[in-house]
Every structure is written in structure tokens, then in C-alpha cells.
Chain A
Amino acid sequence: MAGNVKRKVIGDSHRKSQRGTEESPVVKWVLISIALAFCLVFLLLPLANVFAQAFGQGIKAYLAALTDPDSLAAMRLTLLVAAISVPLNVIFGVCAAWAIAKFNFRGKSLLITLIDLPFSVSPVVAGLMFVVLFGTNGFFGEWLQDHPLHLFGREYAIKIIFAIPGIVLATMFVTFPFVARELIPVMQATGTEQEQAALTLGASGWTTFWHVTLPSVKWGLVYGIILCNARAMGEFGAVSVVSGHIIGQTETMPLRIQGLYEGGTAASGSAAFAVASLLALLALVTLGVKTFLEWQQAREYELAQQALAPVRQDPVFQKPEDFR
């Protein structure tokens, strides 16, 4: 996904090739109009509609909907779930990328396939997997029921399904590949020479990672984190299966939206849109950061290309060939 960087070249060939390789202006503008109409109906109207409906009953109703205790509880839960699952996925993603990008070992492509696996599983099926493990009839469900946690002389029942741990697990599953997937190609592209040099100069492994590797992959990492976070906060299907929909306790923001939508009244409808407007805003911010990062990356790539112009065959800037 990262790296649409070759726009410049296209722009140049645009100017010189007018001879029979371009459509007539009529065809061109008809095609552009159809494409824009499609974008209007499928991208811009749905987005504008979220905010129009959210503010449809006035700003007071909007604020009242957002400060409703149950909606606030949903926001807190969504933030909590993201705050747990995103950092854990970052730890996993950085480790996986380091092992996969910097070392050769057998079974690497199998490992990459397994990491990507959650992307091809329906979110509902993902949720079901955790119900099978931790539900009352599940593999570990009964054991957990019989073994409450003893802490400070009190008994705590460990609940996973229909409770917050299940929501965290389901969220982690669906967001599992994000960070690793963005980091692996970036880390492969930078090669290992710089790290080897740092180690030769006496830096420890940790110092090398912190001062050499991390700075060179920081944009890829940020990219992975924001995508992971957007999905974690917005996940619906998998969370819906394991949550139990207890209002004010196990409802995340997307589930709260569904609850309000099914409430059926005009007020609950626009309250659903009020909560939805926050998630739409999150999506816009995510897109903005993503676009900025791609722009940043394209610029750095261009600068590197200019610096390397006389020695083009430098292996550092070869494309990573064994990813996927």
C-alpha cells in the first residue's frame, strides 16, 4: 500500500505524447464525470450524511447525545481496548518484522502467510473462535469457571466472553497483521549494512535498534500504528460476537451505534449518528496522516534518488523481492 511515488515521471510523458495515445477531450471528460459521480455517491455523500444527520437535531442534541453516560462508557471502553491491543500488536509487529526482514530462515513464507491469516477470516468467524475457546461450553471456559482468581483474600470470577478481555482478544485478532505487514517491506528495503556497521563500531544490539533501525523505519511504523488503531477502534463484527452487548459495560462505540440505531426513535437515530460522527472524524484523521506519510515518503525517496543518481545500482534501493 505504501509508496505511490512515481507520479512525476507520468506527468512528463503526459506532455510529449499527444499523438494518438490520448482520448478525445469529450471522451476524457465523460470518463472523468462518471468517476467523479461515483465518488460523490459512494464517498462524499455518505461522509457528509454522517455529519448532517448528527447535527440534524441541533448542536445541543448532538452534545447531549455524546455526553450520555452510556455513550461515554462506550467511548471509554473503545479507548481502553485500543490502548491495550494496539501496543501489544506493535510489540508483535516490530519483533516479527525484525526476525523476518533481517534474517534468513526456513519457513519464512509460511510464517508470513500465517501472520496474514486474520485478514482472510470473516470478523464474525474470528469472534466465534474465541467463543469456542472461552465460552461456557468452550475448551477453557469450564476450567476458568471452576478456578476463580484469588487476590487479597477475595474471589474474582475470570470472565472472558461477554466481558472486556474477550473484546480485547477479538480486536487483537482482527488487527494482528497490520503493523508487521507495513514494517516488513520497509525493514527489508533498508537492508542490514547500517546495523552491521553500528555493531562493528561497538554499539549494543539495543542501541543499534533504537538509533539505527528505528529512525529508518519510523514512517512505516507510524503508518502501521494508525491503520491498526483505526481498525481497532472501529471493529464491529468480531467484537459484536464476544461482547454480549451489555449497555454501559461491554458496548464499544460501534456496538453503541448499533444499539442506538435499533432503538428506532428519531432521537436515538440521531444519537447513533452523533457517536458515528466521532468515528468518521477518526477515519478522516487517519486518512490525513496516511496521505501526509505517503507524501513524506515520496519526497524522501526522490531525495535519495537524486543523491544516488551517479551510482544507481546501489543494492540498498532494490525492491524487496521476497515479501509475499
Chain B
Amino acid sequence: MATRKFNALPGFGLTMGVTVFFLTVMVLIPFAGLVVRACGLNWHEFWMLATNARALDAYKLTFGASFFAAIANVIFGTLLAWVLVRYEFPGRRFIDAMVDFPFALPTAVAGLTLANMFAVNGWLGKYLVPLGLKVAFTPLGIVVALTFVGMPFVVRTLQPVLEHLEREVEEAAATLGAGRMRTFVSVIAPTLLPSILTGFALAFARAIGEYGSVVFISSNLRGNEIAPFLIMLRLEQYDYTGAIALAVVLLVFSFVLLAIINVLEQWASRFQS
């Protein structure tokens, strides 16, 4: 910033001190504790704990369900962002405000109400279950819960990009004879792609760590255990090393995703002004 050459503002020492103190106590020491404990395991032991059949099943379910939920978020999130930015219809502002509802609603409440809605006698379950579509207490239910939780990400990442999209480019495409579909596929979609991928990665990252909503709608039996649930189970059995090994695997995946998200956001920002 241009105004920083001379800075007479006071309080840098104090505020920086408080910041570093809080950061150390609340974040760095807890992290260090987990890392030190994980390093205390020998490699073979760690590998056995982190890759036994049950753990592998849990990763498969966690990543699979998170992937499908993020895909659902991309499809419906892109559509929703498009509709909210481009069209005028009754209730638009209300829907726009409600998009953040999954962020504001405690995950336990989300899981509770979704499990109830899709149960045999629930509002949606009573129509879906006779059709053979079981959602509550199945992996499909986990996808539904994760879709709910990750819904705002794609919409909120795309909205500003769509708002700043230049209409002139679309007009040019139309003038050159492109149909609306053609314009969308070859002109609009490529511009949105980095933001869509960012939204996907954000929703996916959130879904991988999610626990509260899933634990209500999943049967939590073998085959329906997500990785965070398995960590919880290990803790309840006082198997701390087992829990730590799984936690390290989840953490590594979170950090890899965080790095990917940073790269994607930089790529996306090149498309904006």
C-alpha cells in the first residue's frame, strides 16, 4: 500500500504480542502436541493403524461421499448462482440470503432434521422409501448431508465472478452467430471454470472433515463409518494411537487440499479484472 512509508501508529508491539500469544496457545501448541505424538509412533505401527481394512473402508466412504456431494454442489451451485445473478424472479433476495443457511445452522441440527425428513415416515422418506430409494442410514444419506453442508461454497465463489462477467463478450459471440448454448459452452464456461473448481475444492475439503451432520443420518455401522467417526470410535475405546494415526492422515489430506485451493484461487483471480 502506498501510504505506509511513514507509520506513526502505536500499538504494534502490544497487538502483535497478544496475537502471537493466542496463536501459540490456541493453535500452535495443540498442533505440535499431535505432531509430536504422531512422530512417537514407529513407521510400521503407524502404517498398520492408518491402513487397516476398516480404516481404508472409512477413507473410501469419506472421500467417495465427499466427492459426490461436491459434484452435486457444483451442478446445483452453478445453476443457483446463475439464476440468482442473471434472472429477476419473486423471492430472489430471500433465496440469496438463505444460501448461507447451511453455514449458520449447527451441523447437529442439520443432521437431525435431514435424517428425520428422509426416514421411512418423514416428509420425503414416505414417498422415496416405497420407490426403493433409501436415503436415511445409507451412504446416500451421507452424500445428502454433505451436500447440504457444502452448498454455499460454490454459489458464493461463483456469484461475484458472474456479476463481473462482461456482457459485451457474450454480445460479440451472439453477433458472430453463436447460439446461446454455444456461447455458454465456449465463452462463459471457460471463464467460470477456475471458480467452479475452487468451489468444488472448498466443498470437498469441508465435507472430508464433517462429522456432526453425518453422524445423525448415517447408520454408523461397519461400511457406513466415515473417517472422523472412526477417530471418535477409537477415542471412545481409549485407543489413542489409533485415533492419532487416522487424524494425521486426515490432516495431511486437508493440507494438500488447502494448497490446491490456494493455487486455484490465484488462477481464478487472474480471470477477475
Closest residue of chain B to A23, judged by CB?
Answer: B180
Q: A-side binding surface: helix, strand, loop or mixed?
A: helix
A121 within 8 A of B: yes
Report how many A-B pairs have Cβ atoms within 8 Å.
Answer: 304
Binds A, one of B21-29, B49-57, B189-197: B21-29
In the complex with contacts A103-B9, A173-B26, A257-B112 CB distance below 8 A = yes
Question: Is B205 an interface residue, CB under 8 A from the partner?
Answer: yes
Q: Is the CB of A287 within 8 A of B112?
A: no
Q: Which A residues lie within 8 Å of B170 (CB)? A: 17, 20-21
With contacts A123-B212, A173-B27, A236-B108 taken as known, whether A193 is within 8 angstroms of B3 at the C-beta atoms is yes
Whether B163 contacts A6 by the Cβ 8 Å rule is yes
Residue B98 CB within 8 A of the other chain: yes
Stretch at the interface among A29-37, A144-152, A214-222, A304-312: A29-37
Asked if B175 is at the interface of the complex by the 8 Å CB criterion, the answer is yes
Contact A19 to B113, CB < 8 A, known contacts A95-B19, A132-B37? no
Which B64-107 residues have a C-beta within 8 angstroms of A?
Answer: 76, 79-80, 82-85, 87-89, 91, 95, 97-107
Is B223 located at the chain interface by the 8 A CB criterion?
no
**Chain A residues near B (Cβ < 8 Å):** 1, 4, 6-7, 10, 13-14, 17, 19-24, 27-28, 31-32, 34-36, 38-39, 41-47, 49-50, 52-53, 88, 91-92, 94-96, 98-100, 102-105, 111, 114-115, 117-118, 120-126, 128-133, 135, 137-139, 169, 172-173, 176, 188, 191-193, 195-196, 199-200, 205, 208-209, 227, 230, 233-237, 240-241, 253-255, 257-258, 261, 269, 272-273, 276, 279-280, 283-284, 286-287, 290-291, 315, 321-322, 324
| Contact present for B112 and A115 (CB under 8 Å) | no
With contacts A139-B33, A254-B108 taken as known, whether A21 is within 8 angstroms of B244 at the C-beta atoms is no
CA distance A235 to B104 in the complex (A): 11
Question: Which chain B residues border A96 with CB–CB below 8 Å?
Answer: 15, 18-19, 22
B124:A209 contact, CB within 8 angstroms: no
Q: Which of B207-247 contact A (CB under 8 A)?
A: 208-212, 215-216, 228-229, 231-232, 235, 240, 243-244, 247
Smallest distance from the beta carbon of B125 to chain A beta carbons, Å? 11
B265 to chain A, nearest CB (A): 7
Within the complex, the shortest CB–CB distance from A31 to chain B, in Å, comes to: 6
Which single member of B4, B30, B107, B210 contacts A129 (CB below 8 Å)? B30
In the complex, the answer to whether B110 meets A32 with C-beta atoms within 8 Å is no
B43 CB contacts on chain A under 8 angstroms: none
**Chain B CB within 10 Å — which of A135, A230, A254 has the most?**
A254
Interface: B116 (CB within 8 A): yes
Q: Tell yes or no: B250 within 8 A of A by CB.
A: yes
A121 to B254, CA, bound (A): 7
Q: Can you name 13 A-B residue pairings with CB atoms under 8 Å?
A: A6-B164, A10-B163, A14-B88, A20-B170, A43-B102, A44-B98, A91-B22, A103-B12, A131-B240, A132-B34, A254-B108, A258-B108, A276-B112
B257 at the interface (CB under 8 A from A): yes
Q: Which residues of B contact A (CB under 8 A)?
A: 1-4, 7-12, 14-16, 18-19, 22-23, 26-31, 33-34, 36-37, 76, 79-80, 82-85, 87-89, 91, 95, 97-110, 112-114, 116-117, 122-124, 147-148, 151, 156, 159-160, 163-164, 167, 170-171, 174-175, 180, 183, 205, 208-212, 215-216, 228-229, 231-232, 235, 240, 243-244, 247, 250-251, 254-255, 257-258, 265
Query: Are B107 and A237 in contact, with the CB atoms below 8 A?
Result: yes
Whether A276 pairs with B23 at a CB distance below 8 angstroms is no
Chain A residues with Cβ below 8 Å from B112 are 50, 257, 261, 272-273, 276
